[in-house]
Amino acid sequence: MSIWVVFKLLGSLALLMFGMKSLSDGLQKMAGPQLRSVLEKVTSNRFTGMIAGMFVTASIQSSTATTLMTVSFVNAGLLTLAQAISIILGAHIGTTLTAWIMSLGFAFDMVSYVYIAFLLGIILIYSKKRKNMGDFLFGLGFLFLGLGTLRQTGLDMNMAENEAFIDLFRGMDNSIWNTILFLAIGTVLTLCVQSSAAIMAITMILCSMGVLPVYQGIILVLGENIGTTITANIAALGSNVSARRTAFSHLFINVAGVFWVLCVLRPFVNMSCSLVGYDLDIQKGEPGYESNLGKVTFVLATFHSLFNIANSFIMIWFVRFIEKIVCQIIKPKNETQDEDSRLCFITAGLMSTPELSILNAKKEIGVFADRCKRMYELTVSLFSTEKDEDFNKLHSRIEKYEGITDNMEVEIADYLSQVSEGRLSTESKTEIQHMLRVVSELESIGDSCYKLARSMSRKRQYSKEDYTDKLKDHIHNIMDLADQALEHMCLVVKFGEQRYVDINKSYNLEHEINNYRNQLKNQNIIDINNHLYDYQMGVFYMDIVSECEKLGDYVINVIEASGIKEKAKSEKLW
């Protein structure tokens, strides 16, 4: 076998994997946000969840993407473990469509038609509105080109005439040890390549050439089903216990399914063969062997579908039981870390496309804004705290929140930097720049809250005299205005693009805070001159007032950094 044939084989496999990824990317860019919404709004009905998982996976041609989305939602508390398990069961059914696409690619000569897809794809790619459709067509073209090249390369290698190679597989009986061996091979290969579709293609090409018996090919398919679950488990390692349980349930369902189907494997194989019309008894050299061999890819696709559909419809009745087992195996760690310090949406890693990763980052920034608002509420409570012990505890908590905001800024910014390395549209690149600035300004809000807390601590440390009732009222008033500004900022950050949040309210509040600060500044000079309180008390007082005004400025910076006003102007809404 020539070294060039080996390179051609590996290159065609790479072309297949690239085509599968481009196909999935194009589909996710076209329908990703809507499909994420379907998963996010799934009801507690297990059958509805399974249908949603099946629909989403079939639409984006990636069970891994569906599983990672589900893990991120569980990590954020948007889905329960039971709901996630039902979605994963549906994903197992939806992913069977991939095997049918590949079996069609092997059964028919699609290479002659892929150039039409390439031509239409390049035309659409240069059209801004249809660019995603162009990516999809290119992916589809590369997929079938890769399948065709892989098939032809396999024929050129002439493995069907290599008796030693054929005898190697024929010499292996259907014993339990050989079954375990092929299961392990399928699992390890899928884990290494990180693509069950690629290993499925190799299995189909070997079986279609008559090199690999159907029985061993089916065992490899079962191993691929186990191997494809590892990605989600790796992604969930840094997530919370619920996300780890979700990923493990994916593995548990497939392992349990493989176990029971091995007990009834022969009837399952016979059923798959009879549905396709494949005769297991026809040997090489007998009449009808070639036409019979042409059906083998459909046998693998049929078995893959029957197994996943049967497994999902069996497991759907044991969702609560699976949930209990997974919870027993994956136990929560004894974490002393504040629950508010963990990320919610981006700990599951990058999604399979940058566009979906941007949506995850948006949600994480919304959580960041909420935590800044919570930090400010703690700071307001600190001002009214009288006991030294309670004051110190609350001040320490605020100090911890300041560290949390620093970490969140770094982690979200690093995540967005990784996303920006992917293939992005001009709009998405601009959006990432806006998001990076929003993250920076949110961290400044956290710093401002901590400065407020330090001002209160210094006043408590160096002055035993209390603020006058009039000063307390003024501080409460400006703090209330800042609280309103933060609350509206959170709405803008999370829902501004949906256009039912009036961002003019933020500008009005900022003007009101500025005017009130100027009024209090002038009045402070008058009150000190009238000896209503001493100069040092006035300094402590104005430190709080000035910091509240700065906080209002940071809020406006977040609003402007979000780019929502610019988007509205470009759409002639302003």
Q: What is the model's pLDDT at position 470?
A: 92
pLDDT at 522 over 50: yes
What are the pLDDT digits (tens) for 134-150? Answer: 887 888 888 788 777 77
Owner of token pair 């390890």: 188
My answer on whether 325 and 403 are in the same domain is: no
What are the pLDDT digits (tens) for 377-422? Answer: 999 999 998 888 999 999 999 999 998 899 889 989 988 888 887 7
pLDDT at 489 over 80: yes
341: in domain? no
Instruction: Name the residue among 424, 408, 359 with its Cα closest to residue 68.
Output: 359
Domain boundary among 272, 294, 329: 329
Q: What is the model's pLDDT at position 289?
A: 73
My answer on whether 283 and 357 are in the same domain is: no
Tell me the mean pLDDT in the region 555-568. Answer: 74
Write the secondary structure of 470-482 as one string of H (helix), E (strand) and C (coil): HHHHHHHHHHHHH
455: in domain? yes
CA dist 560 → 437, 540, 543, 564 (Å): 9, 31, 26, 7
Who's near 154: CB < 8 A, 6+ residues apart? 9, 205, 206, 208, 209
Tell me the mean pLDDT in the region 507-514. Answer: 92
Percentage of residues in the chain having pLDDT higher than 70:
81
What is the number of helices (H) and of strands (E) in the chain?
A: 24, 0
Decide: helix, strand or coil at residue 197.
helix
Q: How crowded is residue 152: how many other Cβ atoms within 10 Å of its Cβ? A: 15
Residue 171 vs residue 5, higher pLDDT: 5
Q: What backbone phi and psi angles, to 5 degrees, belong to 145?
A: -65, -40
What are the pLDDT digits (tens) for 30-39? Answer: 665 566 666 6
Position 14 confidence tier, pLDDT thresholds 50, 70, 90:
confident
347: in domain? no
What are the pLDDT digits (tens) for 173-191? Answer: 667 778 888 888 888 888 7
Tell me the mean pLDDT in the region 467-478. Answer: 92
Q: Which of 38-42, 151-155, 202-206 has the lowest mean pLDDT?
A: 38-42
338: in domain? no
Q: How crowded is residue 518: how many other Cβ atoms within 10 Å of its Cβ? A: 12
Q: Which one-letter DSSP state was computed for residue 468?
A: P
Percentage of residues in the chain having pLDDT higher than 90:
22
My answer on whether 36 and 103 are in the same domain is: yes
Q: What is the model's pLDDT at position 501?
A: 61
My answer on whether 295 and 433 are in the same domain is: no
What are the pLDDT digits (tens) for 326-374? Answer: 888 887 765 444 445 567 677 655 555 666 678 778 888 988 999 999 9
* Cα–Cα dist 350/411, whole Å: 13
* Cα–Cα dist 38/56, whole Å: 8
My answer on whether 95 and 223 are in the same domain is: yes
What sections of 264-295 are H helices per DSSP?
265-276, 289-293
pLDDT at 497 over 70: no
For CA atoms 370, 372, 377, 382, the dihedral sign is positive
Tell me the mean pLDDT in the region 111-137. Answer: 80
My answer on whether 407 and 268 are in the same domain is: no
What CATH number does residue 470 fall under? 1.20.58.220
Q: What is the model's pLDDT at position 337?
A: 45
My answer on whether 396 and 524 are in the same domain is: yes
Q: What is the dihedral of CA 152, 153, 155, 157, to 10 degrees?
A: 170
Instruction: Name the residue among 553, 565, 424, 544 with its Cα closest to residue 478.
Output: 544
Owner of token pair 């299995």: 203
342: in domain? no
Q: Is the separation of the CB atoms in 362 and 432 below 8 Å?
A: no
Domain boundary among 296, 329, 362: 329
Q: Which one-letter DSSP state was computed for residue 337?
A: S
Position 436 confidence tier, pLDDT thresholds 50, 70, 90:
very high
What are the pLDDT digits (tens) for 296-310? Answer: 888 888 998 999 899
For the full predicted model, state whether its pTM sits above 0.85.
no
What are the pLDDT digits (tens) for 67-85? Answer: 777 776 776 666 778 888 8
Q: Is the separation of the CB atoms in 95 and 119 below 8 Å?
A: no
340: in domain? no
Q: What is the model's pLDDT at position 517?
A: 94
Instruction: Name the residue among 110, 90, 102 with its Cα closest to residue 20.
Output: 102
My answer on whether 452 and 314 are in the same domain is: no
Position 21 confidence tier, pLDDT thresholds 50, 70, 90:
confident
Q: Which of 42-46, 314-318, 554-558 has the lowest mean pLDDT?
A: 42-46
Q: What is the model's pLDDT at position 338?
A: 46
Tokens of 403: 């560290």
Q: Is the separation of the CB atoms in 140 and 16 below 8 Å?
A: no
CA dist 339 → 241, 369, 371, 379, 404 (Å): 12, 16, 11, 19, 11
My answer on whether 320 and 364 are in the same domain is: no
Q: What is the model's pLDDT at position 190?
A: 81
First to last CA, the chain: 68
Who's near 232: CB < 8 A, 6+ residues apart? 64, 67, 68, 71, 246, 247, 250, 251
334: in domain? no
My answer on whether 320 and 357 are in the same domain is: no
My answer on whether 292 and 431 are in the same domain is: no
Mean per-residue pLDDT over the chain, rounded:
80
125: in domain? yes
How many structural domains are present in the chain?
Answer: 2
Range of the domain at 259: 3-329
pLDDT at 261 over 80: yes
Q: What is the model's pLDDT at position 172?
A: 61
Position 568 confidence tier, pLDDT thresholds 50, 70, 90:
very low
Owner of token pair 């092997």: 106
My answer on whether 318 and 376 are in the same domain is: no
Q: Is the separation of the CB atoms in 89 and 50 below 8 Å?
A: yes
Radius of gyration of the chain (CA): 31
